[in-house]
């Protein structure tokens, strides 16, 4: 396939790299020429900054930009690529954002966290496809199957639920690691001591029902430890961490002790 990208961020970087192994990446379009050039040089493509320069002689255009500008991009690109299949890579944007403007609209969403410093194992990364035309859905499914063993034709509503869940499972959990590091850094304690605990918790979450794997003072209803932790955060003048600690502990209390009316003091 001949494929062009609009966007040169983390998703475009990883997706263009893997697709370039078996397909031709024609153009990389980014508002920042340096970003387009960096990615284009890696996949032997042309770097451009103007959407009007996009070639129409391609099989697929992938919009890999931030969610809030997808609607703007499809408005700009529709006229010159009227007969080309155009997809976005967003988990939270409905296909109708494209479809109400462009007839051949689709979604190609990888459920993964992307960083430029780390490679992605595409074979186990879930890929979600959606399209307004059955023939385009078949094409996207074939493309996804060439990358991953886990390909799903999900609706926009299903995809949005996954995106919300991913915020809890990935973004929020990572911020919990950040907060944990802040706590131990304040006492000059090595954060790496938590690595085995972090990895074991993740392993249990993927092998069992997370609710059944819950541990800790809130799950036990151990008010003495909860109070001690609150006092530590008070002493450290970390009201921000205390508020989060209290909110999460209270939710765990309610989940595991619904009939005991346990509350944080």
- pLDDT tens digits, residue range 178-207? 999 999 999 999 999 999 999 999 999 999
Q: Give the per-residue pLDDT at 261.
A: 59
- DSSP string spanning 181-212? HHHHHTTT--GGGGHHHHHHHHHHHHHS-GGG
Range(s) within the chain of domains with CATH label 3.40.50.720: 2-154
CA atoms within 13 A on the CB side of 39: 32
261: left (phi over 0), alpha (psi -120 to 50) or beta: left
Range(s) within the chain of domains with CATH label 1.10.1040.20: 160-256
Q: Give the per-residue pLDDT at 105.
A: 98
Q: How far, in Å, CA of 63 to CA of 108, rounded?
A: 9
Residues 6+ apart with CB under 8 A from 140: 85, 87, 106, 108, 129, 130, 131
- pLDDT tens digits, residue range 96-114? 999 999 999 999 999 999 9
Q: Give the per-residue pLDDT at 265.
A: 61
Domain 2-154 CATH assignment equals 3.40.50.720: yes
Closest CA to 155 of 137, 127, 129: 129
Q: Give the per-residue pLDDT at 245.
A: 96
Q: Give the per-residue pLDDT at 257.
A: 87
Closest CA to 262 of 229, 222, 234: 222
Q: Give the per-residue pLDDT at 116.
A: 85
Q: Chain centroid to CA 221: how far?
A: 34
Query: Tens place of pLDDT for every residue, the chain, 265 residues?
Result: 999 999 999 999 999 999 999 999 999 999 999 999 999 999 999 999 999 999 999 999 999 999 999 999 999 999 889 999 999 999 999 999 999 999 999 999 999 999 888 899 999 999 999 999 999 999 999 999 999 999 999 999 999 999 999 999 999 999 999 999 999 999 999 999 999 999 999 999 999 999 999 999 999 999 999 999 999 999 999 999 999 999 999 999 999 988 775 666 6
The secondary structure element, H or E, covering residue 254 is helix 239-256
- DSSP string spanning 24-87? EEEEEE-SSHHHHHHHHHHHT-EEES-GGG--S--SEEEE-S-GGGHHHHHHHHTGGGTTSEEE
Under DSSP, the state recorded for 204 is H
Domain 160-256 CATH assignment equals 3.40.50.2000: no
Q: Give the per-residue pLDDT at 262.
A: 60
Mean pLDDT of the chain: 95
pTM of structure: 0.86
């Amino acid at each position: 396939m001949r494929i062009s990208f609009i966007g040169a961020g983390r998703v475009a970087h990883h997706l263009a790299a893997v697709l370039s192994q078996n397909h031709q990446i024609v153009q990389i379009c980014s508002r920042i020429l340096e970003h387009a050039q960096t990615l284009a040089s890696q996949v032997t493509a042309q770097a451009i900054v103007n959407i009007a320069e996009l070639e129409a002689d391609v099989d697929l255009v992938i919009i890999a930009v931030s969610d809030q500008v997808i609607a703007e991009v499809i408005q700009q690109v529709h006229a010159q690529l009227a007969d080309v299949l155009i997809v976005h890579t967003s988990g939270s944007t409905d296909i109708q954002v494209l479809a109400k403007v462009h007839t051949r609209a689709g979604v190609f969403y990888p459920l993964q966290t992307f960083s430029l410093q780390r490679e992605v194992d595409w074979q186990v990364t879930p890929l979600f496809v959606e399209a307004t035309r059955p023939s385009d859905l078949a094409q996207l499914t074939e493309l996804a199957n060439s990358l991953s063993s886990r390909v799903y034709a999900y609706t926009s509503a299903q995809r949005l639920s996954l995106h919300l869940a991913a915020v809890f499972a990935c973004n929020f959990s990572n911020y919990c690691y950040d907060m944990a590091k802040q706590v131990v850094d304040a006492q000059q304690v090595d954060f790496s001591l938590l690595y085995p605990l972090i990895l074991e918790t993740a392993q249990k979450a993927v092998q069992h029902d997370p609710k059944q794997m819950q541990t800790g003072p809130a799950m036990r209803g151990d008010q003495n430890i909860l109070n001690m932790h609150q006092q530590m955060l008070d002493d450290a003048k970390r009201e921000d961490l205390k508020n989060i600690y209290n909110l999460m502990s209270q939710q765990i209390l309610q989940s595991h002790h619904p009939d005991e009316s346990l509350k944080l003091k």
